[in-house]
Structure 1
């Protein structure tokens, strides 16, 4: 598939499916807000250096690294757009699991995930617009789809901010009810969104093999760079080993589901970007498992050296 064809490709799932995706995303954000507790932000007081380093790297460091990568690699504009969208997305709960498996600082991981999820409602749409505007090919491709920034921000406000604020208000006023609803709603929203995304992959399954050679190397390199950035931030802030591992997973794994929904519902379903984000979500699971396995191997090696 040539560059012009890929950049002109659109993922059109149909109005009802796109509306369902937006609704399920709003439901998930509502569920996230129901589960937020003051304890999730305790690291702001107990370990502000590593907490703030993690937050700053998620919001600024990873998008900046990604911008550098696309300037150096010069991928097709739609693929560059997908990379930047992924970098602007918050971490997901999967990073908490990998931190646990990799014997990292799980409490810090949970705290950073909660913070990035809350911040995502307000920052992610603005961050996407800002970083895309700094790379001329992605700025140009937005013009080709007649992108309306005001409409994008207002719809993002409806899908992301309103559910977060509603969930936080409910959790504050009815904490027991919020606790009872949080997990079922998160499960329903997550599984439903996964089903719709898988439907999208199935609908366009003939395209995936043709795009794999262009997309997979970028996905792997981008994810490896994000993991390396998280580890480097841990080293630069002189974090202990478990904290370094938590930062590695929090910076290395993003909520690609959010990025996919934004692309399909707000950015005209740009095909190259949507495929990259979708494959990125799958690869983050593989990459996260590999990093957790390497951390476990390092622990075994260190244990043998000290016995």
Structure 2
């Protein structure tokens, strides 16, 4: 009826929703329903759950079909020299992390999907660039599965995560500091909440502060994703395969919105407020082409991190 209602119901205004419909038809081959009056549609959709379900799955299948246009590998030649948070990390492709999304699974599967908080979830691995667009998504793993194990699976898949040997992603302490995956120093404060009112005093502290500031990009991207699509914030009644497809579809639609430059300022402010209130844990705890196939810690990669952080501190 108007942009306000369209945003409330569909999380985008009329212009962007029209553009999405056009993409679903032209690229996804969604067939437009013809010669049906609004009154008929209203009656059918109000009274027939079977009709709603059938149309839902039809559109979901089409959204999955267009996903390849919106979840795309990051450009391996990309540089972020003009970005104040990312310019310190030459060769970085973006940030990588996992996020937990609630699922409904059969009783026999619940122990495997139960995460550390006791919720039934899937652990979704994703990468994103500084513009908060996701470049790789892997949902479906059980909530109890560790982040490094999922990363190993993503690297070994034929159509999985591709990381050239001269590039890397920023990762958190739960991952090894390995070729292709640059982690912060352990035993040094890391989370942005821990830096309020203080400044770094050595090269490791400076590195962790700048690493946290840049890697926070993926935390904001996850926050924005879940803030926009309420279906990701609670368990649904669909079968497991459909739930995984819904998760993928939400990532696709997130990128569609980002590429169309829809104003996310208000939502991002809410996300940043939520992130600032998240408890920050000290980091004393342990946790074809030439692409990287494993993520194993190495002295060479630790030396590279030392060289990078010491150079940062000299310039600082």
The TM-score normalised by the length of structure 1 is 0.25
| Bigger strand share | 2
Which structure ranks higher in relative contact order (CA pairs < 8 Å, sequence separation ≥ 6)? 1
More helix by share: 1
